[in-house]
Amino acid sequence: MSMIAIKQVSKSYGDFQVLKNCSTEVAKGEVVVVCGPSGSGKSTLIKTVNGLEPINQGEIVVDGTTVTDKATNLPQLRSRVGMVFQHFELFPHLSIAENLALAQMKVLKRSRAEALAKGAALLARVGLSAHADKFPGQLSGGQQQRVAIARALAMDPVVMLFDEPTSALDPEMVTEVLDVMVELANEGMTMMVVTHEMGFARKVANRVVFMDAGEVVEDADKEAFFAEPRSERARQFLSKILAH
Amino acid sequence: MDYTWNWSALWSLSLDGRLTYFETLLLGLAWTLATALSAFVLALLVGSLLGVMRSAPVAWMNRVGACFVELFRNVPLLVQMFLWYFVLPELLPDAAGDWLKQLPDAQFYTAVLCLGCYHGARVAEVVRSGLGSLSRGQGMAGQALGLTLPQTYRYVLLPMAYRIVVPTLTSEFLSTTKNTSVALAIGLVELTASARAMQEGTFQVFEAFAVATVLYLALNLVIVFLMRVLERKAQVPGYVSGHEKGGR
Amino acid sequence: MFAGFDFDVIVRALPYLFLDGMAFTLTLTVLATLGGIVLGTLLALMRLSRFAVLSTFAASYVNLMRSLPLVLVIFWFYFLMPYVGQWVTGAANPVRVGPFWSSLVTFTLFEASYFCEIIRSGIQSVPRGQVMASQAMGMTTAQTMGYVILPQAFRNMLPILLTQTIVLFQDTSLVYVLSITDFLGAAAKVAQRDGRLLEMYLFAALVYFAISFTASFFVRRLQRRVAIVR
C-alpha cells in the first residue's frame, strides 16, 4: 500500500517551472531518497507532500488523504506527517522541552504533563536529555537537528519527510544526525529523504529518485541506481558526488 | 536678559482655586502618562493586527492593511486629531454624535483613539518588519507540525517578532508620549497644556516651561529604563538572528 | 451623511488656503529642511568628533531636542526668541519676532537634531576602509569627510532624509498652536468663520494626504534605484 503517492505534479512561479509532471510513490515502511543537483526542484517536491508548497497541477495522496483536495484539513494531515528542515527551524524563543511540547498540546490536545513526558522520552532517545531546559541557540547544529527530529516524532507521525537534513551542518556533525535517521529507518519508519548523502542512501534506502531541472529523471531500486544509472544526467551527478 | 524670574509662582494657587500651579503641572503629567499608556496599548493591538494582515499570505488582507497604514501615515497627527474630535460626531447618526460630544473626558478618549490609530499604523510596520526578519522556514515548521496559520502566528512567529522589535517599540512609545501634547489642540490638559495655562495665569513663561521640560525628561528616562528591563527579559539565550544561524 | 456637504465653501476658500496657507507651509518646509540638514550635518560631525567637548555638547543638544514634544519646543522658542533678539541686538526691550521667523528658527533647530541622527548613521554606514584609503593617499580629515565620506553618506541616506522631510512637512501643521496661518491654520480659520468644520478639515486631510502620499511614492521609487546602484 502506498503511503505517499505523487501523481503528475507540476508547479511554476510565473514563467519558471519548478516541477514538471513529477510522479513517484513511497510505500509503507519504505525509505526513498530523493537526490539531484541544486535547483532541481527536490526541496520543492518534498514540501508539496504536506502542502507547504501549493501545486498547479496533479494530485498528491498521503495515507489515503488527498493533500490537493480543497476540503482536506491540512493541519490535521500535517500533524501525522513529520518534517525535518535543512535549517532545523526550532522555535528560538522556546526551550528545547517546550519546542517538543508545543504542537502536542496545541494540535493533538495532549496535556502539558503528557506532552513534556513524551518529549523527555524522545530527547533521551536522541541522546539530548541533558539539554531539555536550554534554548535552541545554545545548541550545536547537529544537536539542534536531532531535537528537530525528536520534535517531529513527538507527534507520532505515520511518515517522516527530511529536507536536506544535513546540508547546513558542519561536516563533523553530519554523522550524529544520520545515525538517528538510520536507526529510525531500521525500525520501519516510512521516510522520504532529500539528501546528497549517498552513503546513507546505500545503507538504508529502498529506492532512489533522481531529479534534474524539475523532472523526475530516474526512479529506481537502490541497487540498480548505484550499479548503473540509466540516464546520462544521473551518471554525471553520481560521479561528481562520489568523486570526493 | 530682561526677564524677572519668580520661581515662587509655582506654589501660588492656580485659577481653579484649589491646586497650586506645581500641582497642576503634576496633574498634567498624569494625563500625559494616562493618555500615552492607553494609546500605546491600543496601538499595539491595532499594529499587531495590521502587521499580521500585511504579512499574511492573503491578498485582500495585505491590501486592507496597506490602505490603513498609508492613510494614517500621510495625514498630519493634528489634522487627524481634528477629524476624530470635530468631524467624526458629524458623520455619525445624530444620536450617536450627540452622545459622543457629551461624553465626560471626551478629549481624553478622542486623544487615545487618535494616537492609538496613528501609532498603530507605525507599529504595524514595525511588527511587519519583525515578522519579515524571521526565516520563511519558521512559518513552515509551525505548519508542518499541524498548527493552523493563526496558531503559527500566535505561538511561533509573533512571540519571536515582538522580542526582535522591542527596541524599536521603545522609541515608538517615547514618540507616543511626546505626541500626546498634540491633544492640547482639542482641549486635553496634559503636561504642555498645563505649562501653557500656568504661563497665561502667571506670565512666568520660562518657569512653567522649564518645569514641564524637566518632567518630560524624567518621564523619558523612566520609560527608557523600564524598556531596558523588558529588553533584557525578552532576550532569547543564544539567539543571534533569523538568518545567521545554521549557515546558508 | 454628505447631504449637507458644502463644496462651495471649499471652492471659495481655495485662493486663501493655497496662496496664503500652503505657500507658508511649503516655504517653511523647504527652508527648515535646508537649514536642518546643514545644522544637522554640523551636529553629526561634532558628535563624531574626537574632542569630548564638541561631542558631548552635540549629544546633549540632540538628546534634549529628541526627548521633548515639538509643541513644547514651539512654545519655548516663541517666548524665548524676543529675549534672545534683545540680547543679540542690545535693544532696550524684548524684540518682536514675526511668526514666520519664529517658526523657521524653531523647526530648523528642532529638526536638525533628527537630521543629525540620520546623517550620523549615514556616515557610520560608510566602511572604515574608505577613511583609511583616503588617508593613505594623504588626504586630511576634512578632505576625507568632504570628498569621500559625506558624498557616500548622503547618497545612502537620501531616501531617509527625504522621508524625514515629509515628516517635517506634516509637522509644520503644529504651528497652528501659535495661531499662524499655515495651510491647516487657514483651513481652521475658514472652518470656524463659516461654521464648516466637516468640509474644511476633511479637505485639509485630503490635501495633506495627496501631497505626502505622492512624495512617499517617489521616495520609495528612488530607494529602489539607489538600492540597485549600490
Asked if A174 contacts A182 with a C-beta cutoff of 8 angstroms, the reply is no
**pLDDT category of residue C132 using cuts at 50, 70 and 90:** confident
According to the model, what pLDDT value does residue C230 have? Answer: 45
Burial of B76 (0-12, 13-18, 19+ CB in 10 A): buried
According to the model, what pLDDT value does residue B1 have? Answer: 56
**Is residue C59, in this structure, part of any structural domain at all?**
yes
| DSSP-H helix ranges across chain C | 7-15, 23-47, 52-67, 70-89, 99-125, 128-136, 141-143, 150-171, 183-194, 197-229
Over range A195-204, report the average pLDDT.
93
**Is residue C197, in this structure, part of any structural domain at all?**
no
Contacts within 8 Å (CB) and 24+ apart, B18-22: B21/B198, B21/B201, B21/B202, B21/B208, B22/B211
Measured between alpha carbons, how far is C35 from C108 in angstroms, rounded to an integer? 6
Over range B216-231, report the average pLDDT.
93
Measured between alpha carbons, how far is B189 from B168 in angstroms, rounded to an integer? 28
Over range C3-26, report the average pLDDT.
87
- Torsion angle in degrees (nearest 10) through CA of B148, B150, B154, B160: 90
| DSSP-H helix ranges across chain A | 42-49, 74-78, 96-106, 112-125, 141-153, 171-186, 198-204, 222-227, 232-242
CATH of the domain at B62: 1.10.3720.10
Residue A29 has pLDDT above 80, yes or no: yes
**pLDDT category of residue B245 using cuts at 50, 70 and 90:** very low
CATH of the domain at C123: 1.10.3720.10
Q: Hey, how many other C-beta atoms are within 10 angstroms of the C-beta on B232?
A: 9
Contact criterion met (CB < 8 Å) for A78 and B151: no
**Is residue B246, in this structure, part of any structural domain at all?**
no
Amino acid type, C123 = I
Is A219 in a helix, a strand, or coil? strand
Nine-digit cell string for B36? 500615552
* Residue in A143, A139, A99 with CA at minimum distance from that of residue B159: A99
Please report, rounded to a whole number, the percentage of residues in chain B having pLDDT higher than 90: 73
The DSSP 8-state label assigned to residue B86 in this structure reads I
According to the model, what pLDDT value does residue C87 have? Answer: 87
Over range A63-68, report the average pLDDT.
93
According to the model, what pLDDT value does residue A215 have? Answer: 94
According to the model, what pLDDT value does residue C90 have? Answer: 85
**Is residue B172, in this structure, part of any structural domain at all?**
yes
Contact criterion met (CB < 8 Å) for C71 and B1: no
Chain B interface, mutation test: which of C209, C212, C214, C219, most B Cβ atoms within 10 Å? C209
Element (H, E) at B248: none
According to the model, what pLDDT value does residue B240 have? Answer: 66
Q: What average pLDDT does chain B have? A: 91
* Residue in A59, A76, A53, A65 with CA at minimum distance from that of residue A23: A59
- Supply the DSSP string of A123-184, one letter for each residue: HHHTT-GGGTTS-GGGS-HHHHHHHHHHHHHTT--SEEEEESTTTTS-HHHHHHHHHHHHHH
**pLDDT category of residue C169 using cuts at 50, 70 and 90:** very high
Residue A42 has pLDDT above 90, yes or no: yes
Contacts (Cβ under 8 Å, ≥6 apart) of B244: none
Over range B35-53, report the average pLDDT.
97
Residue B127 has pLDDT above 80, yes or no: yes
Chains within contact range of chain B (3+ C-beta pairs < 8 Å): A, C
According to the model, what pLDDT value does residue A200 have? Answer: 94
C174 contacts on B by Cβ (under 8 Å): 76, 78, 182
According to the model, what pLDDT value does residue A244 have? Answer: 57
Is A17 in a helix, a strand, or coil? strand
**What's the pLDDT tens digit per position in C139-154?**
888 999 999 999 889 8
Domain extent for B175: 20-74+115-234
Looking at the structure of chain C, the number of domains it has is 1
Beta bridge partners of A11: A19
According to the model, what pLDDT value does residue B104 have? Answer: 87
A21 φ/ψ angles, rounded to the nearest 5 degrees: 50, 50
Measured between alpha carbons, how far is C24 from A230 in angstroms, rounded to an integer? 79
* Residue in B126, B112, B124 with CA at minimum distance from that of residue B70: B124
**Is residue C54, in this structure, part of any structural domain at all?**
yes
**pLDDT category of residue B247 using cuts at 50, 70 and 90:** very low
Q: What average pLDDT does chain C have? A: 91
**Is residue B195, in this structure, part of any structural domain at all?**
yes
Domains of chain A: 2-243 (3.40.50.300)
Over range C115-135, report the average pLDDT.
91
Contact criterion met (CB < 8 Å) for B246 and A75: no
Over range C157-174, report the average pLDDT.
95
Please report, rounded to a whole number, the percentage of residues in chain C having pLDDT higher than 70: 97
According to the model, what pLDDT value does residue A243 have? Answer: 67
Looking at the structure of chain B, the number of domains it has is 1
According to the model, what pLDDT value does residue C129 have? Answer: 86
A221 φ/ψ angles, rounded to the nearest 5 degrees: -60, 150
ipTM of the assembly? 0.92
According to the model, what pLDDT value does residue A65 have? Answer: 94
Ordered strands of the A65-66 beta sheet: A16-27, A2-13, A57-62, A65-66
Burial of C73 (0-12, 13-18, 19+ CB in 10 A): buried
Chain-centroid distance, C-alpha C180: 17
* Residue in C41, A24, A219, A87 with CA at minimum distance from that of residue B243: A87
**Is residue B8, in this structure, part of any structural domain at all?**
no
* Residue in B192, B163, B162, B170 with CA at minimum distance from that of residue B35: B192
According to the model, what pLDDT value does residue B9 have? Answer: 85
Q: From the list B2, B86, B180, which residue is nearest C94 (CB)?
A: B2
**Is residue B90, in this structure, part of any structural domain at all?**
no
Please report, rounded to a whole number, the percentage of residues in chain A having pLDDT higher than 70: 99
Amino acid type, A176 = E
Burial of C161 (0-12, 13-18, 19+ CB in 10 A): buried
Contacts (Cβ under 8 Å, ≥6 apart) of C47: C54, C55, C58, C59, C62, C116, C120
Please report, rounded to a whole number, the percentage of residues in chain A having pLDDT higher than 90: 91
Residue B239 has pLDDT above 90, yes or no: no
Does residue B243 sit at the C interface (CB-CB below 8 Å)? Answer: no
**pLDDT category of residue C94 using cuts at 50, 70 and 90:** confident
Contacts (Cβ under 8 Å, ≥6 apart) of A224: none
According to the model, what pLDDT value does residue B84 have? Answer: 95
Contacts (Cβ under 8 Å, ≥6 apart) of B29: B190, B191, B194, B215, B219
Chains within contact range of chain C (3+ C-beta pairs < 8 Å): B
Measured between alpha carbons, how far is A126 from A128 in angstroms, rounded to an integer? 6
- Lowest mean pLDDT: which of A179-183, A213-217, B2-6? B2-6
Is C211 in a helix, a strand, or coil? helix
Residue B172 has pLDDT above 50, yes or no: yes
Residues 182-221 of C with CB under 8 A from B: 184, 188, 197-198, 201-202, 204-205, 208-209, 212-213, 216
Asked if B161 contacts B127 with a C-beta cutoff of 8 angstroms, the reply is yes
According to the model, what pLDDT value does residue C2 have? Answer: 55
Over range C4-22, report the average pLDDT.
87
**Is residue B94, in this structure, part of any structural domain at all?**
no
Residue B73 has pLDDT above 60, yes or no: yes
Chain A: residues touching B (Cβ < 8 Å): 47, 50, 52, 74-83, 85-93, 102-103, 106-108, 134-139, 141, 144, 151-152, 155, 168
Please report, rounded to a whole number, the percentage of residues in chain B having pLDDT higher than 70: 96
Chain A, chain B: beta-carbon pairs less than 8 Å apart: 102
Chain-centroid distance, C-alpha B179: 8
Measured between alpha carbons, how far is A60 from A24 in angstroms, rounded to an integer? 10
Is B192 in a helix, a strand, or coil? helix
Answer positive or negative: Cα dihedral of A38, A42, A45, A51: negative
Over range A43-52, report the average pLDDT.
94
- Of residues C128 and B129, the one with the higher pLDDT is B129
Domain extent for C41: 27-180
